[in-house]
Every structure is written in structure tokens, then in C-alpha cells.
A = this chain, B = another copy of it.
Amino acid sequence: MRTSREVHTALQSGGPVVALESTVITHGLPAPVNLETARRLEAAVREEGAVPATIGVLEGEVRVGLAPDELEALATRNAVEKASLWNLAAVVARRQWAGTTVATTAHLAARAGIRVFATGGIGGVHPVPFDESGDLLGLSRTPVVVVSSGPKSILDLAATLERLESYGVGVVGYRTKHLPAFHAPDSPFELPATVWSEAEAAATWRAARALGLESATLVFHPVSEGLPYRQVKAWVDQANEEARAAGIGGKDLTPYLLRRLSELSEGRTDAVNLRLLEENARLAARIARKLSA
């Protein structure tokens, strides 16, 4: 595991650092939007006064903080793995390249001494028996602030929230009492706690540390201009129906659903996705500054 000089220097001096994940670059967005977005997120973190630390695996080496040419290499390369906690060590041992998932990035960030991590949406419970993201249990064991816009839209939101409770993952809404639903800023599901400021989010993290809680502190941040919950849900339901009718399942299901969501919304879900990524990076930077103050 290698930390860039800039990130290392910032951490040494207790300065604000924000970890960013890389599956959004390697698997989540098409080229060239992926590289543009990765750059924009780093720039957004800097504009808010923090140091970005994009995390990925380059030729078997875990890297915390990427130079511009490294970011480009990761974004443009073919045959890049997706490193979850269950295959991360093998990816490293076999000298592969990989984007890192939410749980993996959170783990590596915490290990590097970074306290705040921004992403788009977290994984959760799929509406398929036993298909539950490693993010859920992973986050229950990883002491880091994770800023996201909620579980990804295609997930079973109610079940995902139950699992977060069952696994004891710290959860707060940022200025919302309901679970934000990724593309939708609102949903019918009540959160167990709300923070009304960056200072309160930072205080929640400090309290968790003082009390010896090992879980992440999830800060659910509703996107500023999103889509109506019922509309997104209707698209997701329709896409699931179509997949069932066409016999699409297994590993093909999630990419199919995301593509159909984009088509059904005439690209509006894509625009919201980019917006929330940047907004989360900014909020994470402001929370990181509170924690450094």
C-alpha cells in the first residue's frame, strides 16, 4: 500500500483529506465521462479546501492518492478488475489493476488514516435471495465517515436499511429524516438520526470513536436536484419486469437495469448521478475540514 506524498503530508499535519473510490471510474461510468468525472471530483474536493485521495490498485499495488497520469491510466485501461473485500488480496497478489468498491475503499482509507470518504451510492440488498453487497458488513467493521446519496436505486431500500440496523452501522441523514434514494432525494423510509450541519456530522464521528464503535458513520446526503422517488421506483420496477421477461439475471442484471434506467429516464438518471457525486465530494471535504479543525 502506497500513499502519495501529497496525501501523506496532509495526513501527517492532521489536514483534511477525502478518499474517493475508483469503481465509479473503472466500472461505473463510460469513457470519457469516467476520467472527466474523476478529475472533477478531485477538483471539487480541492475547491472545498481538502486533499483528494483517489484509491485504486495499480499493477497489484494499492495506491492512496493518484497522480494525474495514474488516474488517466486507470480510467482508460482495459481488463481492470473490481476489487471487493473478497478478492482484493488476490488482485494484489496477482499484480492486477482494479477499481475499489465502497467497502474496499473504506477499509483502505481507514488503514491509511483517512477519516472521510465520498462516493455516489452504497451497495445493499438486491431483490434476489442472498444477493447482498459486501458493503453492508464491511462498513460495520470500518471506522470511517462515508458520504453517499443512499443505497443505489435498484436495491431493496427497506431491506438495506434493516441490514444497516442489524449490523450496527452508524447512520445519519444530512438535513433529512428520510433515507435518500440515490437518484431521488427522498423516500418513505425513516432514518434513526439526523445531523443538521457539517459540525454535527463531525461530532457524530468523534462520538463513535470515543465510544469504541468500529463501524462506519454513514452520512446520507440527498441530491440537490433529483428525481421523484415514485418515478424512479416505477422505472426500476419496469426494468425488473423487462429483465424477468427477457430471462436476464445473475451478473448481467445490474448493468441491464442501470442501462434501462438511463434509457427510460432519457438520460436524466445519468445527470443526477454526476451531480450527486460532486455534491458528496464537496460535503465530505467540508466534514473533513471540521474534523481537522
Using CB atoms and an 8 Å cutoff, list the residues of chain A in contact with chain B. 1, 62, 84-94, 103, 107-108, 111, 125, 129-134, 136-138, 140-141, 158-159, 162-172, 190, 192-195, 200, 203-208, 210-215, 217, 251
* Bound CA–CA A194/B87 (angstroms): 9
User: Of B90, B125, B195, which one neighbours A130 at CB under 8 angstroms?
Assistant: B125
* Bound CA–CA A172/B89 (angstroms): 10
Contact B168 A90 (CB under 8 A): no
Q: A86-B168, A88-B170 are in contact. List 12 more A-B contacts (CB 8 A).
A: A84-B168, A86-B170, A90-B195, A90-B207, A92-B211, A94-B193, A107-B213, A111-B212, A130-B162, A132-B162, A134-B165, A137-B167
Q: In the complex where A137-B166, A168-B84, A212-B107 touch, is A217 in contact with B89 (Cβ < 8 A)? A: yes
Contact B89 A162 (CB under 8 A): no
Q: In the complex where A94-B195, A203-B93 touch, is A133 in contact with B166 (Cβ < 8 A)? A: yes
Contact B165 A86 (CB under 8 A): yes
Contact B170 A89 (CB under 8 A): yes
User: Of B138, B171, B195, which one neighbours A93 at CB under 8 angstroms?
Assistant: B195
* Bound CA–CA A182/B251 (angstroms): 24
* Bound CA–CA A134/B165 (angstroms): 6
Contact A89 B140 (CB under 8 A): no
* Bound CA–CA A136/B130 (angstroms): 13
Which residue of the partner chain B has the closest CB to A161? B130
User: Of B134, B203, B211, which one neighbours A111 at CB under 8 angstroms?
Assistant: B211
* Bound CA–CA A166/B86 (angstroms): 8
Contact A88 B158 (CB under 8 A): no
* Bound CA–CA A1/B207 (angstroms): 10
* Bound CA–CA A5/B103 (angstroms): 41
Q: Contacts of A211 on B, CB cut-off 8 Å?
A: 1, 62, 88-89, 92, 107-108, 111
**A65–chain B nearest beta-carbon distance, Å:** 16
Q: In the complex where A85-B215, A210-B1 touch, is A192 in contact with B159 (Cβ < 8 A)? A: no
**A81–chain B nearest beta-carbon distance, Å:** 8
Contact B159 A129 (CB under 8 A): yes
* Bound CA–CA A131/B166 (angstroms): 8
* Bound CA–CA A214/B62 (angstroms): 17
Chain B CB within 10 Å, residue with most, of A94, A166, A192:
A166
* Bound CA–CA A169/B205 (angstroms): 27
Q: Contacts of A131 on B, CB cut-off 8 Å?
A: 162
Which residue of the partner chain B has the closest CB to A159? B130
